[in-house]
Amino acid sequence: MMHYNVKPGHISVKELVFFILVIFFTVLAVSCSPREGWGLVLWAAKDSRLTTGAVIPLYFKSNITRCWIAGVPGTNGKEEIDIWRVKQFSSKRKALQEAQAYDDYISIFAQAKRQGLVMREEPDNLSKQVYRFLENERCKVLKKVKGVEVRTGNQALEGDWYLVLAEDGTRGYIFSNQFTLIDISKSLDVSSTSQSPIPAPDFLQKVWRPSYFDSLASQSMYDLMMFQLTYGFFYYASESKIFINLPWLSKSYPAEQFYRNSDGSYRAEPSKLRFMLTADNKLMCIPPEQDVANIAKDFPFVERTAGEEIAFTFAVTSLDLQKLINSEKANRIARLKKFLANGTRFSSDV
């Protein structure tokens, strides 16, 4: 065993050479490591230099981090990629053949039309459930497959079975009847194809609460059904989505790209959710028409645009919502105790 006596602030020449050699041979071992195979990228991470559909060399698989060390095509660089994002092959030729077949599905995703739709272990409606989707959640389509016919009563449902990947890497099968197939390479309107996407507006980083919070609070009207910490307009950049939560609407909208419209408003794609800042620094949001079709024209707490579109407004509030809610709960308990102070039997003269 080798022993080193290192004095504070001093390293001997022998020790320095030793450490340099250790670092050199470690880097050399990684850079010269033999390939373990080739891979087809099924669904690249958003911030990755690897692209969906690319054929890549695979050097080392870690079962601890559940990642491959893979080569970045066109460079000498390497990058980690989740194991579930890659399909491994023994040769480059086989990987290229699979890539050619996958070419038709590179930009195809499936989006759940409602919450609770399931992914199954096999393309059979009686097969084991392996994943449950949220409304508007997307999965990556890998290919269309043959499966067992899906029936409701005596009627066969229209649709096809697809092999898909969920966002957490779960793999299984969905029936397309309750999913929307989206080609993200063609998801924009023809009128917007000449535009270039812009970065997410900075004001989305703020915490936006329903503007009626301040209005009701100024009148000391504290309806706990209307005041909830979960209500608001929330942008989750890491998940590329906007979540709107109100007493009458709770929905997640995919927001993978942002565009500026000619009227100064912003548009999130592919959900087509529109929003803008008003002159009084409120955030006005205009959901797709189908999401507000059941809201009555005289419904309170909503706004209308010049084109008679239903819109919701949000504001950055200074209210201490948790304190307000706790105070209102305490007041209600106090009033109830006072009401019950004279006993628990009540009678009416009628």
Q: What is the domain range of residue 69?
A: 34-103
Is 136 among the domain residues? Answer: yes
**Domain closes at, from 103, 138, 161:** 103
What tens digit of pLDDT does each residue of 177-218 get? 888 888 776 544 434 433 688 999 999 999 899 888 877 777
DSSP string of 236-303, one letter each residue:
EGGGTEEEEEETTEEEEEEEEEEEE-TTS-EEEEETTEEEEE-TTS-EEEE--GGGSTTS-TT-TT-E
Q: 3-state class of 61 per DSSP? A: strand
Find the angle CA(16)-CA(21)-CA(22) to the nearest 5 degrees. 100
Which residues in 91-119 are b (16+ Cβ under 10 Å) and which e? ebeebeebbeebeebbbbbbbbeeeebbb
Based on the domain organization, do 269 and 178 belong to the same domain? no
Residue 69: Cβ within 10 Å count: 18
Query: How much is the pLDDT for 10?
Result: 53
Interatomic CA distance for residues 149 and 175, integer angstroms: 10
Distances (CA, A) of 188 to 45, 142, 162: 21, 22, 24
Both tokens assigned to 214: 């301040």
Global pTM value: 0.52
**Domain closes at, from 88, 103, 118:** 103
Give the CATH number of the domain where residue 67 resides. 2.30.30
What tens digit of pLDDT does each residue of 315-333 get? 988 877 777 777 777 777 7
Is 12 among the domain residues? Answer: no
Find the angle CA(133)-CA(135)-CA(141) to the nearest 5 degrees. 55
Based on the domain organization, do 311 and 198 belong to the same domain? yes
Question: To which H or E segment does residue 50 belong?
Answer: none
Query: How much is the pLDDT for 26?
Result: 46
The dihedral through the CA atoms of 176, 177, 178, 181 has a sign that is positive
Based on the domain organization, do 177 and 204 belong to the same domain? no
Q: 3-state class of 167 per DSSP? A: coil
Query: How much is the pLDDT for 309?
Result: 83
Question: To which H or E segment does residue 140 belong?
Answer: strand 138-145
Is 25 among the domain residues? Answer: no
Regions of the chain with pLDDT less than 70 = 1-33, 185-195, 219-222, 224, 263, 279, 297-298, 306-307, 343-350
Based on the domain organization, do 90 and 142 belong to the same domain? no
Is 61 among the domain residues? Answer: yes
Based on the domain organization, do 302 and 216 belong to the same domain? yes
Is 73 among the domain residues? Answer: yes
Is 74 among the domain residues? Answer: yes
Query: How much is the pLDDT for 5?
Result: 45
Based on the domain organization, do 207 and 93 belong to the same domain? no
Based on the domain organization, do 175 and 226 belong to the same domain? no
Q: What's the number of domains the chain is made of? A: 3
Query: How much is the pLDDT for 12?
Result: 64
Give the CATH number of the domain where residue 143 resides. 2.30.30.40
Both tokens assigned to 17: 């050479």
**Domain closes at, from 76, 103, 130:** 103
Query: How much is the pLDDT for 46?
Result: 77
Based on the domain organization, do 197 and 317 belong to the same domain? yes
Based on the domain organization, do 223 and 312 belong to the same domain? yes
Based on the domain organization, do 137 and 163 belong to the same domain? yes
Amino acid (one-letter) located at 103: D
Query: How much is the pLDDT for 82?
Result: 95
Is 22 among the domain residues? Answer: no
DSSP string of 93-139, one letter each residue:
HHHHHHHHHHGGGTTEEEEESSTT-EEESSSSTTSPEEEEPPTT-EE
Based on the domain organization, do 263 and 250 belong to the same domain? yes
Strand-pair partners of 175: 161
Is 28 among the domain residues? Answer: no
Interatomic CA distance for residues 127 and 9, integer angstroms: 66
Based on the domain organization, do 261 and 137 belong to the same domain? no
